[in-house]
Structure 1
Amino acid sequence: MKLKITILLLFVCSLTYGQTYKSLIAEADKFYQSKDYKKAVDMFKAAFKIEQKSAGNIYNASCAASLLGDKNLAFEWLNSALRNGWVNVRHLKADSDLNSLHEDDRWNNLVIEMQKELDKKEANYDKPLQAKLLAIYDDDQLIRQQFITAQKEFGYDSKKVDSLGTIMMLKDSINLMKVTEILDKYGWLGVDKIGGQANQTLFLVIQHSDLKTQQKYLPMMREAVKTNKASASSLALLEDRVALEEGKRQIYGSQIGYDEDTEKSFVLPLQDPENVDKRRMKVGLEPMSVYVKGWDITWDAKRYKKELPALEKRLKGQK
C-alpha cells in the first residue's frame, strides 16, 4: 500500500438545525472547489446569517459570487470584506475569480478605497523587506498550485509531477536561504512590521523545509506566538509536521495522508484523538469533523483510536 502525505496549502443540499458557522463555511469552500458556485454562494449566505466578521471568508464568498455571475452580491461582499479589514489590493487585482468585475465602474472605486486603507495600515512597514517576502510567497505558492493540479490531472507517479517536484525542491531551497537570512538577522517579524501575508511567508517556507531546519526555528516561532508575532494556528501545523518527522504522533491532527491503492485520505497518527478538538480550539483551529471534510473524511474519534495501531503498523512498513 502506497501512502503519501498530502501537501497542505501555503482554500448541502439542505440546511439542518445545529449547523455551525464553521461547518457552513467548510461546505461553501467545498462547493467552491468543485466549481458549484451556486451552492457555494448559498452556503456563504447561510453562514453570514450567523456572523459576518471574517474578512477572509467574506472575500472568498465574493469570489464565488463573481464566478456565479452575481456582480451586485460580489461587490456587496467585497465592500463588507473591506470594512472588516481586507486590504490585500495586490491579491485583489491578480485574482482571476474577480475578472468579471473589472469593467464595472464600482471596481476602480473599490480598488482606490482599499489602497487608501492599505496605505494607512502600512505606514510603518519595512516596505523593502515586505516586498522581498511577498515575492517569496508567490514563488512558494505558485509551484505548489501547479504541483497539486498536475497530481490531479496526471497522477501522483507521472513524469509531469516528478518534474514539478524537482523544480519545487529547488525553489524551496532558494527561498529557505532567503528566509533564514531574514530570521537570523531580524527574528520573527510580526504583522505590524511586514503585514499579514509577508508574515505568513516566514511560516510557509519553514513549514516546507527539512526537519533539521524546522527543529531549529520551531522555538523561535513558539516565542513569536507568545508576543503575537506569529499565528498559534500556524504554529500548530509546524508542531504536527515536526512531531511526525521525529516519529511521534501529531498533536492537532493537521497532517493528512493519502492511500493510492484505495484513493482515500486519512488522518496521520494522532495522539489522544478524543481530546483533539479541545487542543485545536485553544489555537484557533476548527473542529476535526469540519477540517477533514475537505478530504472527504468522516471524523470518528473513537473509531480512529481503535484503528490507530494498525495504521501505525502499516506506515512503519512503508519506511
Structure 2
Amino acid sequence: MSTPMKLDALAITPTPVPRRESPWRRVLRDFLASKSAMVGLGVALALMIAALAAPWLTPQNPYDLMQLDVLDARLPPGAINGLGTFHYWLGTDGQGRDLYSGILYGLRISVGIGVGSALIAGVIGSLVGLLAAYCGGKIDALLMRLADLVLSFPSILVSMLILAYLGKGIVNVMATLVLLEWAYYARTARGQALVERQKEYVEAARGLDISGWRIMVHHILPNCLPPLIVISTLQIARAIMLEVTLSFLGLGVPITEPSLGLLIANGYQYMLAGEYWISFYPGIALLTVIVAINLVGDRLRDVMNPRWQK
C-alpha cells in the first residue's frame, strides 16, 4: 500500500514582489545620505531663521538712527558700547552700527531678494518654456529667441543699466533679477517638456479631449520639476550675489535699507587703515550662505540625475 503524498511538502511558497520605491523617496534618501549636503542645508536654514528672527536676536536695530551713537564708530570686535550695556562682538562700522546686528538684518534683505526673485522667475520661466514646447512653431521660435536675447548679454551690465533708469529700491532690484533669470528656467523647462510631449500619456490626454493648459500644468510640468528644482537652488545663490554686487556699487537697495553689499562697501575705505572687520565679517556671512546653498544644489543635481554622479 503506497504512502499518501504529503501536500505540505510540495507547497510552493510565493515569492514576495518587492515594492517599487517612488522616485521622490529615492531622491530624499540619497540627499539625506550626503553629509556635505546636510551641513549645507543646516547652515542655510540656520542663517535664514536667524535673519528672520533678527529683531529678537540682535542688541540694536542698526538702521534706527535713535539707537546709534557716532562715538561708537569703528570699534574693534569685542568692544563695549558707550553705555556699557552690551558688547559689539563683531565691532562696528563707520556709523557706529553693530556689525552682528547689521549682518542679520542684511541677510533678511539679500536672501529675501534672492529667494523671491528666483521663485517668481521660476514660475514665469517654467510657464514660458512649457508653452513654447507644447505649442511649437512660431510661438516656440519667438519665445526662445527672446530667451536667447536675454541670455546673450552680461547680467551685471544689464542690471546696472536697468537700475540706473528705474532707480534704487527692493522692488526694482527684484524686478530686474526676475527679468534676467526667467530665461534659464524657460530653456530648461522647454528642453524637458519636448521630451515629455512625445510620450504616450500626453497623446492619451489629447485623445480624451483634455485642454492644452491642463495637459501642460497637470501632466507635463510635474515631470519637468527635477531639473527646475536644481536650477532654482543655483539661481538663488546667483541672485544673492547679483544683489550684493549691485548694492556694493550703489545701484541696489538704498542706504536706509540693510544689505550685505552695503555693509561690505561701508568698510572698503577703511581696509588700508587696518579696520578689516567692517568688510570682513559681512563678506564671511555672504560666503557662508552662498557655499551652503551651492552644496544643496550640487547634491540635488546628483541625486536627481544619477548619470551626473561621480
TM above 0.5, yes or no, is: no
The TM-score normalised by the length of structure 1 is 0.26
Query: Which structure's CA Rg is the greater one?
Result: 2
The TM-score normalised by the length of structure 2 is 0.26
